[in-house]
Structure 1
Amino acid sequence: MHKTIIARSLATIGCFALSQAASASGFQLLEQNASGLGNAYAGSAAATDNASTIFYNPAGMTELQDREVSLGASLIKPSYKFKNNGSSVAPAATGGNGGDAGDLATLPNAYFSMALNKDWYLGLGIGAPFGLKTEYDPDWVGRFHSVKFDIQTMNINPSIAWRMTDKLSFGFGLDWQRMEAQYERMAAVASSSLPASFYPVVQNTRVALSASSEAWGWNTGVLFKPSANTKIGLSYRSAVKHDLEGTLTSSNQAISPDVLASASVKLPDTWILSVAQQISPKWEMLGDVSRTGWSSVQNIDIVRTSGSAAGSTAQTLEADFRDTWRVALGANYRVDDKWKLRYGIAWDQSPVRSDSARLTSLPDNNRIWLSLGAGYAINKASRIDVGAAYLIIKDTNIDNNQTSQGRGRVSGTYEGSIAILGLQYSQAF
C-alpha cells in the first residue's frame, strides 16, 4: 500500500515539476524542500532531516531510516517593478513602465529513499533546479528587448549512497533534466533605410522563440561526522548543457516568417560546503558556503535552422554572467519532542556584472534572505515542516543599450523583492 501511494505521488509531482520562478541569484531554485527554507538553506549539504537530502547531498541518505518519503511544494512570488529614467525607445515608439514583471509560481518536489542493507541506500528525487519568468505589459518601453521570458526545468535524480564507516559516507546521483524556454518580444527596426511609415508595421509584430531540450548531468557528495555532534557535508552538482530546438514564430509572416530555431546554454555547476553543529540539547547551528559557476552562461545565440536564412543568427542574448558566492547561517531550536523552530539568514550574489549587462528578462541583483520555519512531529514516523522567507533585493539599475540593433536603450531602476512559502510532509516506514 505504501509503495503504491509513493509511486502515484512521485508520478503526480513529475507531471508538475516544471517550474518558472527564480528565487536564488540568476535563475537558480534552491527551494527543493520546506525544512531547509526556514534556515535560508544554511547547512543544506549536512542537514539530514528527511529524504530531500538526495538533492543537496545524496550521502545524507545513510542517516535516514530504512524507507522515507518526502513530498512538498513552495509558493514563490517575485516582484520586479521598473521605473524609467532616460530610456531611449526604438524609433517612432513610446511606452510605459511595464507593470510588475514578477508572477506567482508553484515549485513541487518529491523524494524517496530506501536502505538496501545497513550500509547501502537508493534514492529518487524529482524537482526543478532552475526556473525564471518575467512578463511585462505589452506596451512597455523595453518591449523590443523582451515582453516575456520563461524558463522551466524538471530534474529526475536517481541516487545511491554508501556508508564506508560510522563517520564517513559517500553519495552519487545521475540527473535527467528537461528544459523548456519561451522568449517573446516585439520586432525591432534594425535598418535605417526603411521608410518611417513602415516602422509601426514592424514594431507591432510580436516574435517568439519556443524551444526545449533534454540532457544529462550528475551529482555527488560526502558526509563526514568527526564527532557525535558535528556533521560536515561537501556536495557538487555538475553543469548541464542544453541544446534547445524549437520554432521562431511571428505574428506577421510578411515581416518575419516562421522558421525552426536552436539555442545552446550550459546551466551552471554548484559546490556546497556545509556544517551542522549541535551545541546543546536544544540548539543546533548551521553554516553554508556555496559557489555557482554562472560564467558558463555567456552569449546565447538564437540561430535559424530552416528557411532561406538558415544558419544565420536571429538574435544574441548577451548575458556575460560571472561565477557567484552564497553564504548562509542558520539555527534550529528544539522546543520539545514535537516542535522544532528554524531561523536563517543568507547573502546571495548576483551573476550580473554591471548595469549595462543587465537584461530586462532577468533584472537580477544581490539579495539578502530572511527566513523562519517550524517542524512538527505528528508521531515518530511522520513530520510536517513549514518555512517562509523574504528576499530583500537592493534597488537595481539597468542601462542596457541595444540601439544599434533597433531595440532602443532601457535605462532606469527596478524595485524588487521575493516572498516564499513552503510546506512539506515526510514519512518513514
Structure 2
Amino acid sequence: MKTDKSIIAALALTSALSTTPALAGGFYVQEQSAKEAGRAYSGEASAADSAATIFFNPAGMTELGGITIEGGGQLLFVDARQENTGSTRTYPGVAGTFPVTGSEGGNPFDQPIPVPSFYASAQVSERVWVGLGVSSPFGVSSGYEDGFFGRYDALDADLLTLNVQPSVAIKLSDNVSIGGGVDVQYIDATLANALPNPSPAAPDGRLEIGGDDISVGFNVGALVKAGAVRFGAHYRSQVKHTLEGTLDVTNLGGPLAPLNGEYDATTPITMPDIFTLSAALDPGGRWRGYATARFYDWSDFDRLDFVAPGFPPTSSPQNYADSMSIAAGGEYDVSEKLTLRAGTMWDESPVGDTFRSTRVPDGDRVWASMGATYALGDHLAVNLAYSHVFVSSEPIARTNVYYGGTAAQTTTVTRSNSTGNADVLAFSIAATF
C-alpha cells in the first residue's frame, strides 16, 4: 500500500500542535539569579547589585567594580495534576464519540528540575565593562505514566536550552549607562504522544519528534539614576529557531501500518520578545525597595508551521495573547554581613483554554518569595532563596484531529481540570576581586 503523504503531514502537525504552544506558553524560565529569586524578580532591570544583571540588564554592570563572578542554580519542584472531565475520541466509520479512559498520569515533572547559571563581569576602563552570562532561559522535563487518559495530547517532553551571552556596558555619565549583548542560543527538544489506531481492539501507536538548532538574538538595556531612585529598561529580542531532526511513527496498525517509519522533519519555534521596566529605591539607609513590570510579545506566535521534505507545508493558527507580569519587593540589611529580602509577583499566562495542553498545563501564577545574602568576607558572599508559586486551576479542552481529510480521520478531545503549584530553592556564590 502506498503511504498517503497528506496523512503524514496532518499527523505530524497534530503532534506539533499539542506540544509547541505549551512550549511557548509555559517554558520561559526566569529563575536566573538567587538574589532576584529572593525578592520575586522585582529588581531585575534596576537592582544592578550582582553579576546576574548581565541577564536582566547588562547596563547594570557599570554599578559593579573590578571583577565580579557569580555561579549557582535553582531547583524547581513542580507538582501538576490532571483530572479527567470527559475526554473522548472518534472511530472512523462509527457515529458518535467514545470515552477515553486511563490513569490520571501522576505528576509529569521530574523532581527536581535543575536550572544552573553563571555570570562574570569585569571593568576594563573607567567607563567600559564586559561580561559573559551562561543560562537556560527555556526548558522542561516531563512525562506521564503509561495509560494516561490524555495520552493523545501528551506523553513526554524534554526541552533544553543553553544561552551564551557576551555583553558590554558603557557608563555615558555618572547617572546614565547603556549595555547590550548577543544571545547565542542552543535548543534541543524531544516531544512524544500516543496515536489513535482505527480499531478499538488495537493498542495505541506512538509519535515522537526530536530536533535541535542554534540561533542568535540580542538584548539591550539602559540604567538611569535620579537621586535615590534608579530606573532600568531592558529588551530581549525574539530568537527564531528551526528545529531539524526526525519524526518517528511506530505501532500503527491496519491501513495506517505503512506510515510507521522515520522521517526527516523541521519545526519552527520562536521565543518571544521580552520588555522589562524596573525601578529601585535606595534612600541610603538599611532598606531598599523594588518594582518591575515585564511584557511578553506572545501575540507574534500566531501560527505554527510544520515542514517535511516531500510533504505539503501545513499551517495552523495559534492566536496567542500578549501577557505581562508585575513584581514588588524589598530588602533590609540586618548587619554588615546579613541582608534579608522578600517579594511577590503576579505572572499572567498567555494561553487560553482552547490551546492549553496537558504537556505543560499553564495558568496564571502568584509568587511568594524570601531570601538572604550572607557575606563570608570582604570578597565572598552566599545567596539563598525560597519561593512558593501558586498556579491557578484551569480547564483543558484540547482537540486534536489525526489523519485529517482521509478515511481514517480521528478526532480526540482531551478534557481535564488542571491543578498545580511549585516550590523553588535557589543558591549562588558570588565573588568580587
Answer whether contact 2:153 2:398 (CA < 8 A) is retained.
Answer: no
| SS at 2:393 equivalent | strand
Within a 5 Å distance, the mapping from 1:226-241 to structure 2 comes to 226-227=226-227, 229-241=228-240
Alignment correspondent of 1:131: 139
CA 1:258–1:25: 2 relative to 1, 3 Å: closer
Deviating more after overlay: 280-289 vs 65-74 = 280-289
Per-residue Cα deviation, 1:162-203 (whole angstroms, up to 9, x for no partner): 0010000000100100011111011134xxxx5x3xx554x5
| SS at 2:319 equivalent | coil
Alignment correspondent of 1:412: 416
Within a 5 Å distance, the mapping from 1:7-26 to structure 2 comes to 26=26
Alignment correspondent of 2:124: 116
Deviating more after overlay: 394-403 vs 206-215 = 394-403
Answer whether contact 2:24 2:271 (CA < 8 A) is retained.
Answer: no
Q: Offset of 1:278 from its aligned partner?
A: 1.7
Alignment correspondent of 1:146: 154
- Give the letter aligned to residue 102 of structure 2: G
Alignment correspondent of 1:287: 291
Per-residue Cα deviation, 1:80-121 (whole angstroms, up to 9, x for no partner): 100111111454753221111222210100011111111101
Distance 1:131 1:53 in 2: 21
Alignment correspondent of 1:186: 194
Distance 1:38 1:25 in 2: 24
Q: Offset of 1:363 from its aligned partner?
A: 1.0
Distance 2:303 2:145 in 1: 26
Alignment partner of 1:102 out of 103, 109, 128: 109
Q: Offset of 1:215 from its aligned partner?
A: 0.2
Answer whether contact 1:88 1:408 (CA < 8 A) is retained.
Answer: yes
Alignment correspondent of 2:9: none
Say whether 1:45 aligns with 2:52.
no
Tell me the percent identity: 31
Q: CA RMSD in A?
A: 2.1
TM-score by length of 2: 0.86
Deviating more after overlay: 94-103 vs 372-381 = 94-103
Per-residue Cα deviation, 1:371-424 (whole angstroms, up to 9, x for no partner): 000000111211100011111011111111225752511112011111110000
Within a 5 Å distance, the mapping from 1:322-333 to structure 2 comes to 322-333=321-332
| SS at 1:61 equivalent | helix
Answer whether contact 1:90 1:403 (CA < 8 A) is retained.
Answer: no
Q: Offset of 1:136 from its aligned partner?
A: 1.1
Distance 1:366 1:231 in 2: 29
Say whether 1:265 aligns with 2:264.
no
Deviating more after overlay: 239-248 vs 274-283 = 274-283
- Give the letter aligned to residue 424 of structure 1: S
Per-residue Cα deviation, 1:310-349 (whole angstroms, up to 9, x for no partner): 2236x87764321111000001011010000010100000
- Give the letter aligned to residue 270 of structure 1: I
Alignment correspondent of 2:372: 374
Distance 2:420 2:299 in 1: 23
Q: Offset of 1:265 from its aligned partner?
A: 1.2
Alignment correspondent of 2:18: none
- Residue ranges of structure 1 left out of the alignment (5+ in a row): 1-21
Alignment correspondent of 2:391: 393
Alignment correspondent of 2:304: 300
Say whether 1:59 aligns with 2:59.
yes
- Give the letter aligned to residue 147 of structure 1: L
Distance 2:397 2:266 in 1: 28
| SS at 2:261 equivalent | coil
- Give the letter aligned to residue 186 of structure 2: R
Q: Offset of 1:40 from its aligned partner?
A: 0.5
Q: Offset of 1:64 from its aligned partner?
A: 0.5
Distance 1:384 1:55 in 2: 19
- Give the letter aligned to residue 219 of structure 1: N
Distance 2:280 2:397 in 1: 42
Aligned length: 393
Distance 1:299 1:361 in 2: 19
| SS at 1:361 equivalent | coil
Alignment correspondent of 1:320: 319
CA 1:200–1:161: 2 relative to 1, 3 Å: farther
CA 1:55–1:158: 2 relative to 1, 3 Å: same
- Give the letter aligned to residue 362 of structure 1: V
| SS at 2:35 equivalent | coil
CA 1:320–1:256: 2 relative to 1, 3 Å: farther
Alignment correspondent of 1:8: none
Q: Offset of 1:280 from its aligned partner?
A: 5.5
Answer whether contact 2:365 2:390 (CA < 8 A) is retained.
Answer: yes
Q: Offset of 1:24 from its aligned partner?
A: 11
Alignment correspondent of 1:256: 260
Answer whether contact 2:25 2:351 (CA < 8 A) is retained.
Answer: no
| SS at 2:60 equivalent | helix
- Give the letter aligned to residue 425 of structure 1: I
Q: Offset of 1:132 from its aligned partner?
A: 2.4
Distance 1:285 1:23 in 2: 33
Distance 1:66 1:47 in 2: 18
- Give the letter aligned to residue 321 of structure 1: Y
